Amino acid sequence: MASLLSQDAPELDLEILAVDGLSNDGTREFLEQTAAQDPRVKVLLNQRKRQPCAFNLGLREARGEFVCIFGSHTLYKKDYVAVCLRELLAKEAVGCGGRVLTQAPVDTLQARLVASALAHPFGSSQKSFRTQLEGFADNVNYMVIRKQPLIDVGGYDEQLTRNEDNDTNQKLRARGHKLFCTWKTQCIYRPKETIRDLFRYAFRNGFWNVISLKENPDSMGARYFVPSLFVSGLLSAILIASAGIFMARPLRALCAFPLVALLLLHLGLGTLASVQVFRRERYLGSLWLAPVFFGFHFAYGLGTLFAFVTRAKVPVPGSVRRKDRAQARAPGEPTGISAG
């Protein structure tokens, strides 16, 4: 909130719509106090507690020609809105976002490993918003974007608690709109603090990729399913190796070869990536990244396979278990800024 209030954009009339999902952790009180002190801030209540519902609520209430959907886990450079808007107009794009830098929220080994795993191309792929190069792209996070085209495509799919941005961005591209990522400004994204949370995040994302694929196949590229191919290969290799136990010694070694090869390949690539991070950051803990990469990819792929096996589909409204609802998104996460 502080980074939004301090935006250096004197030529713009900014309004900040803080959408709160009925939080009970002090977030709502903080937002209401902030709104009382600054007339640019308005607090909206998201009764449905889903992130795409918050996005659509902000879109309906926003008065500006441009909107920016921002997450509360991220800090934005003072010129972020102004630069993104200028680049949007210069590139004739419908939306433009800045470079996203991933930074640990606290200085602990686990938090730094989580941040490094997400920020490295081996962890998140070359096309992730965390590793994105400057230029036109299929998906860009934290964009300044024209409001009307968003409304024209129906806003955000409120059935999705993951990949709703992929879905909407694909619909925008299908209408000929372009998205641009600029490195002339930046923001700092702060992920979860523990490796356990990273693996849970990976499993849920992998699971929802299957639902998103069923809802809008064009919104999900092949890269989202690479971890599931890796896990499938690994599980198949384990079965082959297990069958080899009952065979003669030469055949036993042959059966174990696929499993050993897959493990060595992944851990080898993970080790090379961890050395790259160590050389850049000079932090010895980075050398533990290889098993973190492995666990991250395994959890992600396992989530996708589990969704395929269970034939996962969009939950019927009201049927989501309380625990799952709580895990879907942080209920107190404020989002949104509108520029007129």
- Beta-carbon contacts of 112 under 8 Å, excluding residues fewer than 6 positions away, are 104, 283, 285, 286
Q: Which of 203, 135, 209, 200 is nearest to 166 (CA)?
A: 209
Question: pLDDT tens across 10-40, in order?
Answer: 888 999 999 999 989 999 999 999 999 999 9
Instruction: Tell the burial category of 119 from Cβ atoms under 10 Å away from its Cβ (0-12, 13-18, 19+).
Output: buried
- For residue 52, the model assigns a pLDDT of 92
pLDDT average, residue stretch 194-205: 96
pLDDT average, residue stretch 275-293: 95
Question: pLDDT tens across 210-237, in order?
Answer: 999 999 999 998 999 999 999 999 999 9
Residue 306, classed as helix, strand or coil, is helix
- For residue 337, the model assigns a pLDDT of 52
pLDDT average, residue stretch 101-111: 95
Output Rg (C-alpha) for the chain, integer angstroms: 22
Residue 146, classed as helix, strand or coil, is strand
What's the pLDDT band for 248 if we cut at 50, 70, 90? confident
- For residue 328, the model assigns a pLDDT of 40
Domains (range + CATH), the chain: 2-185+331-339 (3.90.550.10), 223-325 (no CATH)
For the chain, count helices (H), then strands (E): 13, 9
